[in-house]
Amino acid sequence: MDRNLPIGILDSGVGGLTALSPMQKLLPDESVIYFGDSLRMPYGNRPKEEIVFYAQKMIDYLQDKGVKAILLACNTISSHIDSLHSDVKLFSIVEAGCMAAKETVKNSSLGIIATCATVESGVYEKMMAKTCPEITLTLNSSKSLPKVIDSQIENTVLLNEKIRECIDPIIREDSAIKDLILGCSHFPIISEEINSIYPSLHLIDPAVKQVEMLKEYLTQNDLTNLSKRTITLYTTAETYEFAAAIKRLKLEIDTLMKVELV
Ligand code: DGL
């Protein structure tokens, strides 16, 4: 394996850009090729067969470009990691979220917000039962919040309404919840908005742990980059949707391009 190959990151849209923030802090010398299928998002409202079909196409695209590892930044895609094929190591954001919860959650109640497909897959319950069986989970999904974040983030009234619709039922069901896993990669983009409505809620962004796990893998296998770093983003939709998220997350990138996923 060539250690100077980039890291592949894939997501249904702009959400996986939240993995680029910890990348730029923890692995600032690594090159990245990012693929976001904004044209087809939300994946979270699609059946498993379609999620796996398009996710596999993105993995194949990244492998054709040449990558040394792939971060599945999308929880909805990570829910079906067992159905995906790759020659390079795939890192699941769901696994990272559960590891992060194990390390940070102090009480026995935990909330998770995610897409409909992620919640319906039962992946968080299964994995948390293995990593922290003592924690009681309360999950809720949103059909529309990821899409609002992807393409209407400036509509604050709509955004706040969708946030409340998603989180209020969790707090009502278990008022002891102090920690909330952002189980959809789009949600950390609106951490500030969530915390201004729920100031005492501790938000867990699984992408941070995912990048820590990647760093450990690269270091242990002598795969850290020694060449010049480049950050390339591909989207299947119009690039202006990405531009808003890039600005919000204060990311440094070299190339942003619209491509087709065939
Ligand atoms: N990025 C996806 C995730 O993390 C959510 C967005 C979608 O529904 O496409 O689950």
pLDDT in tens, 2-44: 999 999 999 999 999 999 999 999 999 999 999 999 999 999 9
Using the mean position of ligand 1's atoms as its centre, give its distance from the Cα of residue 14 in Å. Answer: 9
| pLDDT average, residue stretch 92-97 | 98
Task: State if residue 118 touches ligand 1 by the CB under 6 angstroms criterion.
Answer: yes
Residue 200 shares a structural domain with residue 102: yes
Please return the burial class of 8, using the count of CB atoms within 10 Å of its CB with bins 0-12, 13-18 and 19+.
Answer: buried
Domain boundary among 205, 223, 240: 205
Neighbours of 247 (CB within 10 A): 9
* Residue 58 scores a pLDDT above 90: yes
pLDDT in tens, 65-74: 999 999 999 9
| pLDDT average, residue stretch 219-232 | 97
Residue 154 shares a structural domain with residue 187: yes
Using the mean position of ligand 1's atoms as its centre, give its distance from the Cα of residue 95 in Å. Answer: 16
Q: Provide the pLDDT confidence category of residue 166 given band limits of 50, 70 and 90.
A: very high
pLDDT in tens, 191-207: 999 999 999 999 999 99
* Chain-centroid distance, C-alpha 153: 17
Task: State if residue 184 touches ligand 1 by the CB under 6 angstroms criterion.
Answer: yes
Domain boundary among 165, 183, 205: 205
Phi, psi torsion values for 155, nearest 5 degrees: -80, 85
The DSSP secondary structure of 5-26, one letter per residue, reads SPEEEEESSSTTHHHHHHHHHH
Task: State if residue 179 touches ligand 1 by the CB under 6 angstroms criterion.
Answer: no
pLDDT in tens, 123-143: 999 999 999 999 999 999 999
Predicted local distance difference test score (pLDDT) of residue 153: 86
* Whether residue 166 lies in the annotated active site: no
Q: Assign residue 69 the CATH number of its domain.
A: 3.40.50.1860
* Residue 106 scores a pLDDT above 90: no
Residue 194 shares a structural domain with residue 153: yes
Domain boundary among 167, 182, 205: 205
* Residue 254 scores a pLDDT above 90: yes
Query: Residue 2 domain-assigned?
Result: no
* Whether residue 132 lies in the annotated active site: no
Least confident of 7-11, 117-121, 159-163, 245-249: 245-249
Residue 23 shares a structural domain with residue 37: yes
Query: Three-state SS for 89?
Result: strand
Boundaries of domain holding 78: 7-92+208-258
Ligand 1 atom index nearest CA of 15: 1
Task: State if residue 76 touches ligand 1 by the CB under 6 angstroms criterion.
Answer: yes
Predicted local distance difference test score (pLDDT) of residue 101: 96
Residue 45 shares a structural domain with residue 100: no
